[in-house]
């Protein structure tokens, strides 16, 4: 590389990544093949449109790449291509969610999403995000005592607020989610159910979390967390569920949810797709459809449970008492007797352990210096860590935080 400044910075970041213990729940390490796809000549190509329907010439090869990514996505999640379609063009998870709202609900309609401070994502209707400016969030919370989802309370809230769409799937929630119960709530009030499986997509692929497709009207995901692909987003939607709408000229138009999603992504909100990213996603989807990835997903859950349980034994409060997936929240503030989340995160970083500060349910502190830290094991499991390493890591974290 001729640009020595960037060359040195890239080398420094590579070194940093190698040196630290990475417990950021939303990060992972992609394979060399995924990196090669990302750094390929496909980044040079403009390809507005979809395979077979492009606005630019020269897309014969690109069409094959995008089609392969679509096929692999449907195969990985065991979806019948006659019934389901997938859009692999969203630039990331946030635009994928916005594209769904744009496709399915009218401006100003209500989005019932988990409160950001309790584990939801910004794009689930929070007012600092486009999703909360253009639509109106009905925030839901966890049960104060169990710190888990309370489906009865969700039903009561949905009946009161009558949202147009309910979002399930979170940024900092460590328990299994009942898609069935979420769909029942959505059906009771005539809302769509959007499952955002961004965090757990790799666990769904590996059979470690129930798949949402039987119950969701539409499913979004990022491709770069537990799924271990490049940064990106995907939207899965049914081809055989139709929505009828009256157009401005008074005529009725019936379209499938998948067709509405396609239009919403392009031309609705994006221009040319990032083909290098789509090529990287295709590679990652193939990797995720292997016995070794299934084993990996199982190991992620085993490692996370081991780390959470050991920290609990060492006296730390784990939110909801434990974890079923790749992530958990730890209360480091302990009613003022401990550290703030920021202090804990800084102290750990100085010792080479990277976590992120995080609010805990019903946090009395601010999101800028909350009571907790979020810990995830997807990245370290990719690097080969096992349960015995997690036991050691728990003792190390405990020692650093108690110094």
Ligand X SMILES: Cc1ncc(COP(=O)(O)O)c(C=O)c1O
Hey, which residues are catalytic here? 46, 48, 196, 222, 225, 231
Facing residues of 237 across strands? 85
How many positions of this chain bind ligand X (CB under 6 A)?
13
Tell me the residue nearest to ligand X as measured from the CB: 93
Among 22, 70, 102, 123, binds ligand X (CB under 6 A): 123
Position 131 contacts ligand X (CB under 6 A): no
**Close Cβ partners of 83 (under 8 Å, ≥ 6 residues apart):** 238, 239, 240
Position 89 contacts ligand X (CB under 6 A): no
- The DSSP code for 326 is S
Give the residue with the Cβ less far from ligand X, 30 or 393: 30
CB of 139 to ligand X, least distance (A): 15
Give the residue with the Cβ less far from ligand X, 110 or 225: 225
7: buried, middle or exposed (CB in 10 Å: 19+, 13-18, 0-12)? exposed
Subset of residues 8 to 27 that bind ligand X, contact rule: CB under 6 A: 26
Long-range residue pairs from 28-31, CB within 8 A, at least 24 positions apart, any chain: 28/202, 28/224, 28/225, 28/226, 28/227, 28/228, 28/378, 28/379, 28/382, 29/228, 29/379, 29/382, 29/383, 30/224, 30/228, 30/229, 30/230, 30/280, 30/284, 31/228, 31/283, 31/284, 31/287
Q: Position of tokens 């998870």?
A: 93
Distance CA 366, CA 117 (A): 9
Subset of residues 172 to 201 that bind ligand X, contact rule: CB under 6 A: 196, 198-199
Position 121 contacts ligand X (CB under 6 A): yes
Position 92 contacts ligand X (CB under 6 A): yes
Position 28 contacts ligand X (CB under 6 A): no
Question: Are the CB atoms for 170 and 374 separated by under 8 Å?
Answer: no
Position 170 contacts ligand X (CB under 6 A): yes
Position 270 contacts ligand X (CB under 6 A): no
Among 42, 59, 171, 323, binds ligand X (CB under 6 A): 171
Alpha-carbon distances, residue 189 vs 125, 185, 390 (angstroms): 18, 7, 44
360: number of Cβ within 10 Å: 27
Give the residue with the Cβ less far from ligand X, 222 or 303: 222
CB of 172 to ligand X, least distance (A): 8
Distance CA 278, CA 271 (A): 14
Q: Position of tokens 């790799």?
A: 202
Give the residue with the Cβ less far from ligand X, 111 or 393: 111
Stretch of 68-76, 163-171, 279-287, 314-322 contacting ligand X, by CB under 6 A: 163-171
CB of 264 to ligand X, least distance (A): 16
Give the residue with the Cβ less far from ligand X, 1 or 128: 128
Among 113, 139, 163, 169, binds ligand X (CB under 6 A): 169
CB of 230 to ligand X, least distance (A): 11
Binding residues (CB under 6 A) for ligand X: these are 26, 92-94, 121, 123, 169-171, 196, 198-199, 222
């Amino acid at each position: 590389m001729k640009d020595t400044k960037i060359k040195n910075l890239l080398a420094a970041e590579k070194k940093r990544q190698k040196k630290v213990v990475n417990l950021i729940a939303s990060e992972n390490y992609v394979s060399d093949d995924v990196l090669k796809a990302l750094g390929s000549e496909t980044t040079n190509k403009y390809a507005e449109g979809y395979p077979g329907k492009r606005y630019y010439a020269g897309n014969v090869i690109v069409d094959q790449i995008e089609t392969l990514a679509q096929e692999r996505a449907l195969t990985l999640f065991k979806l019948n291509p006659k019934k389901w379609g997938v859009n692999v063009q969203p630039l990331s998870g946030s635009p994928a969610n916005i594209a769904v709202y744009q496709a399915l609900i009218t401006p100003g309609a209500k989005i019932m999403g988990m409160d950001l401070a309790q584990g939801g994502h910004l794009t689930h209707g929070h007012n600092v995000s486009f999703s909360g400016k253009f639509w109106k969030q009905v925030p839901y919370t966890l049960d104060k005592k169990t710190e888990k989802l309370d489906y009865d309370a969700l039903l009561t809230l949905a009946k009161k607020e009558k949202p147009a769409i309910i979002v399930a799937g979170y940024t900092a929630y460590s328990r299994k989610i009942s898609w069935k119960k979420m769909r029942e709530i959505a059906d009771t009030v005539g809302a769509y159910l959007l499952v955002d499986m961004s965090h757990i997509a790799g666990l769904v692929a590996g059979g470690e979390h129930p798949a949402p497709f039987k119950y969701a009207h539409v499913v979004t995901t990022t491709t770069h967390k537990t799924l271990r692909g490049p940064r990106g987003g995907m939207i899965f939607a049914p081809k055989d569920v139709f929505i009828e709408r009256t157009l401005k000229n008074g005529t009725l138009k019936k379209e499938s949810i998948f067709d509405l999603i396609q239009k919403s992504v392009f031309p609705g909100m994006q221009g040319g797709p990032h083909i290098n990213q789509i090529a990287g996603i295709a590679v990652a989807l193939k990797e995720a459809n292997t016995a070794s990835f299934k084993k990996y997903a199982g190991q992620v859950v085993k490692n996370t449970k081991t780390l959470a349980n050991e920290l609990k034994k060492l006296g730390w409060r784990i939110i909801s008492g434990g974890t079923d997936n790749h992530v958990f929240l730890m209360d480091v503030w302990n009613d003022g007797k401990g550290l703030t989340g920021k202090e804990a995160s800084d102290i750990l970083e100085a010792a080479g352990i990277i976590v992120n500060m995080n609010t805990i349910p019903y946090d009395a502190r601010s999101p800028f210096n909350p009571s907790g830290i979020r810990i995830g094991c997807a990245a370290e499991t990719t690097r080969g860590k096992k349960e015995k390493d997690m036991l050691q890591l728990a003792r190390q974290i405990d020692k650093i935080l108690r110094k």
